[in-house]
Amino acid sequence: MTQRFRPGWLGRWLGRGTVFFYLAVLYFPIYWMVTMAFKRRVDITTLPPKIFFEPILDNFEWLFVHQNLMEPLLRSFYVTTLAVGIAVLLGTMAAFALSRYRWPAQNHIEFWIISTRMLPPVAVIIPFYAIFIQLRLLDNLNALAFTYLTLTLPLVTWLLLGFLRSIPREIDEAARIDGANSWQVFWYVTLPIARSGIATAAVLAFIFTWGELFFAFIIMSVSITTPVALVSLTAVGLEVKYGEMAAAGTIVVIPSLVMAILFRNTIVKGFRSMAGV
C-alpha cells in the first residue's frame, strides 16, 4: 500500500509564500496602474506614494473629451471581432479536417501551420507593407484584420487540433451510421462537444489581437487603434501624462479581463481537455 506524501508545516508555508510572491509580482503592476488612473498628478508624483487618496475621474474625462478615445476603441473592437471571428470559423474547420481525415504529408502540413505562428512580426511586416501599398490598402481596417488573421488562424487551428483529437472517433462513426454526412457530423456533433476548446482558442486570439501594437503602428496612420492611441499619449506636448496613460491602460485591459473572468471555467476546461487531463 502506497503512502501519500504529506509536506510538513515548513513545506506548506514555503509553498504558500511562493504562490503569494508570484501573485504579487503578477498583479502589482496592474494594481499600480489602476490606482494611478484615479489619482491627481500631485498624488502620482508624491514620495512616498500615497496608499489612501481621493479618487477622481479627470484622467478618463480627458481621454474621451480631448483625445476622443472612443473612436480608437471602436476600431479595435471591429478589427478584433472580424479577425477572431474568421480565425475561429476557418480554424475550427481546418482542425476538424486534419483531425478526422488522413492527408498526404499531413505531418508537414501541421508543421507549416504552426511554423507560420512562430515567425517574428518584423519578418513579415515588409511583405505586408509592400502588398498593401500596391493594393492601396494602407490605413485600412480590413487590411489590418487580414494581417491579424494570418497570425491568429495558425494559433486557433493548432489549439483546436489537439482538442478535437481528444474526442473519440466512435462518436463520429455512430453519427455516420445514423445517416449523417461530414458536414452534419461537424455541425451537430463535433461543435457542441468542442465548445470549451473553441471558446478557449477564441479568448486567446482576442487577447492577442486586442493589444497588438506592431502591425497597427506600421499599417495604420490616421485610423489608429487603441494601442497606437495609447502610445501617442507619450508625445502630448512636453509633459508626460502619467495619470492619463494609466487610465488608457486600464481601459485597454478591461475587455480582455472581462472575457477571462466570464469564460474562466470554460478556459480551464478547454486547457484540461487539450492536455488530456
pLDDT band at 272 (very low <50, low <70, confident <90, very high): low
Angle between helix 264-275 and 141-165 (nearest 10): 50
**What does the alpha-carbon distance between residue 243 and residue 261 come to, in Å, rounded to a whole number?**
26
pLDDT digit string, tens, across residues 164-214: 888 888 888 888 888 888 888 888 888 888 888 888 889 889 988 998 888
Regarding predicted confidence, which is higher, 115 or 269? 115
Has residue 7 got a pLDDT over 80? Answer: no
pLDDT at 5: 55
- Please check whether residue 210 is in contact with residue 257, taking contact to mean a CB–CB distance below 8 angstroms: no
pLDDT at 81: 94
State the average pLDDT for the chain. Answer: 83
Residues 6 or more apart whose Cβ sits within 8 Å of residue 139: 219, 220, 221, 222, 223
- Please check whether residue 262 is in contact with residue 199, taking contact to mean a CB–CB distance below 8 angstroms: no
Map out the domains of the chain with their CATH numbers.
9-58 (no CATH), 61-275 (1.10.3720.10)
pLDDT band at 1 (very low <50, low <70, confident <90, very high): very low
Its pTM stands at 0.82
**What does the alpha-carbon distance between residue 96 and residue 139 come to, in Å, rounded to a whole number?**
35
